[in-house]
Amino acid sequence: MRTRTKVLLSIGALLGVATLVVATWMLVAGIQLMGQLSYGPGTGGPAAALGAEVPTSDDAEELEDSVAEADATGPGGMPPMQSTEIATLPDATWLAEVAAATGIPERALAAYAGADLVASNVYGCRVGWNTLAGIGYVESHHGTLFGGAITADGSMSQKIYGIPLNGTNNTMAIPDTDKGYLDGDTEWDRAVGPLQFIPETWEIWGVDGNGDGVEDPHHIDDAAMTAALYLCNAQGTLEGSENWISAIRSYNNTADYQQQVADAASHYAEIERELFG
């Protein structure tokens, strides 16, 4: 069956050169994406504490081997990552229990937690699975907007495209940079995937998070690992309020976005603490 597509107004992850400046968050056709979070705005403060370190599966024993030779260069000048299936790294019991308690789809949580493990154990940078989950919630409700879902292999049942970044709807004007290869638009760039990367940023930072040899912004493993490395490069680590805020600002430099991600990330971390102490 051919993958169906839906279009949304990106509210984040217009990284680096294309930070989206908005007065209100909204979708095309007037549908509001975020609204008030069920656990209340402001509960997380301006920054979110990182969730507890993720317990690992047996597949994570040789995690350090996922960095290639030191003289090679990866995205953004960082050391490159060897082919790694990040979703296999977190402990299965932890995944099942945290997914059930938080409402995060288990396949999405596996990507967030796996990316956190690689960032921490390979690059020495704590991102926090809950930080990535907070971003994933704000950007696309973990890939579930418009009834879509993340499939068992990590791909999207409905690809998510942002509106054209043509200077309207409070967006920056970004003429096409990829000839429509990632976003299907040969006139203007659009943010794509569950974590809403623009093509130009993906060209610089995109990595393969599931070991299939392809860097795909529509795949949750690739998107989560890329987001983690981008945040690490921006700040070095997200431990501590100032570092966390600075890293999130590099992803999207708006106070409302930062607050929404902090709220969601704090909410998820608190649930995990209640489960495991």
Question: Does 153 or 16 have the greater pLDDT score?
Answer: 153
Distance of alpha carbon 24 from alpha carbon 228, whole angstroms = 26
Q: 57 in a domain, yes or no?
A: yes
Span 191-212, pLDDT tens digits:
999 999 999 999 999 999 999 9
pLDDT at residue 3, rounded to an integer:
39
Residue 267 lies in a domain: yes
Q: Is the pLDDT of residue 24 over 60?
A: no
pLDDT digit string (tens) for 44-102? 446 777 877 888 887 766 665 555 444 455 555 555 566 689 999 999 999 999 999 99
Among 242, 251, 272, which residue's Cα sits nearest to residue 45? Answer: 242
Percent of the chain with pLDDT over 90: 60
Task: Please report whether residue 48 resides in a domain.
Answer: yes
What digits encode the pLDDT tens for the residues 98-128?
999 999 999 999 999 999 999 998 888 999 9
- Report yes or no on 177 lying in a domain: no
Contacts of 25 (CB under 8 A, 6+ apart): 11, 32, 33, 34, 256
Domain contains 175: no
Confidence at residue 235, expressed as pLDDT on a 0 to 100 scale: 82
Secondary structure of residue 10 in the 3-state scheme: coil
> What sign for the dihedral angle of Cα 260, 263, 266, 269?
negative
Q: For helices 220-235 and 106-123, what crossing angle results, to 10°?
A: 40
Domain span at 257: 4-160+191-276
Asked whether residue 165 is domain-assigned, the answer is no
Q: How does pLDDT run across 148-203, given as a tens digit for each residue?
A: 999 999 999 999 999 999 999 888 899 999 999 999 999 999 999 999 999 999 99
Q: How many domains does the chain have?
A: 1
Res 34 pLDDT > 50: no
> What pLDDT, on a 0 to 100 scale, did the predictor assign at position 4?
39
pLDDT of residue 247: 92
Whether pLDDT at 134 is above 70:
yes
Q: Are 190 and 162 in contact (CB under 8 A)?
A: yes
- Which is more confident, 146 or 261? 261
Distance CA 250, CA 13 (A): 9
Whether 40 maps to a domain, the answer reads yes
Measure the CA–CA gap between 153 and 4, rounded to whole angstroms: 17
What pLDDT score was predicted for residue 50? 83
How would residue 17 be classed by pLDDT, with cut points 50, 70 and 90?
very low
Which tokens belong to 202?
């993906």
This prediction's pTM: 0.81
In a domain, 118, yes or no: yes
| pLDDT score recorded for residue 115 | 96
